[in-house]
Amino acid sequence: MAKMQGMKCFVKIMDLSDPNSPKVLAGQRNATLNRSAETLDATSKDTEGYWKENLQGFKEWSVDCDGVLVGSDSALAILEDQFLNSENVDVVIELASGTTYQGNAVITDFPIDMPYDDLVTYSLSLTGSGALAKNTTSSV
């Protein structure tokens, strides 16, 4: 079983003018795909062995990433426009294995850090709005 290298995994932003060609978020360094689910207590007096029972409730997802700011990046321009216009974005997370995750998200945090002695960087937090779809293709 081959190990997966993080440098071959990407966050991409869908371009509404060309929905078949997601744009790689240039300068990206780190990214985290967060997935979680509520826990619903299903315990009752007739639960076998007096062990608590739980069921999965509503699920949610989010993406956090950061990187070096590339001023001419088209994905960054899409994010900037959609943030300023209070619009959701369509995001694609592409793993080195060929698996992709895609969903619609709210831009919840989008700071730009401008230190006097280092590169300009950005951070991005997206919170999913609806389902996160998984697609598996052949290994890359």
Three-state DSSP at 84 gives: helix
Q: Answer with the residue of higher pLDDT: 1 or 119.
A: 119
Kindly report the pTM of this predicted structure.
0.89
Question: Domains, the chain, ranges and CATH?
Answer: 6-37+56-135 (4.10.410.40)
| Closest of 3, 28, 8, 29 to residue 100, by C-alpha | 8
The length of the chain in residues reads 140
- Tell the burial category of 46 from Cβ atoms under 10 Å away from its Cβ (0-12, 13-18, 19+): exposed
pLDDT of 139 strictly over 50: no
12-27 core/surface letters (b: 16 or more CB in 10 A; e: else): bbbbeeeeeebbebeb
> What pLDDT digit, counting tens, does each position of 22-78 carry?
999 999 999 999 999 999 999 999 988 989 999 999 999 999 999 999 989 999 999
Q: What confidence score (pLDDT) does residue 21 get?
A: 85
Distance of alpha carbon 77 from alpha carbon 69, whole angstroms: 11
- Tell the burial category of 122 from Cβ atoms under 10 Å away from its Cβ (0-12, 13-18, 19+): buried
Residues facing 134 on adjacent strands: 101
> What pLDDT digit, counting tens, does each position of 3-30 carry?
889 989 999 999 888 878 899 999 999 9
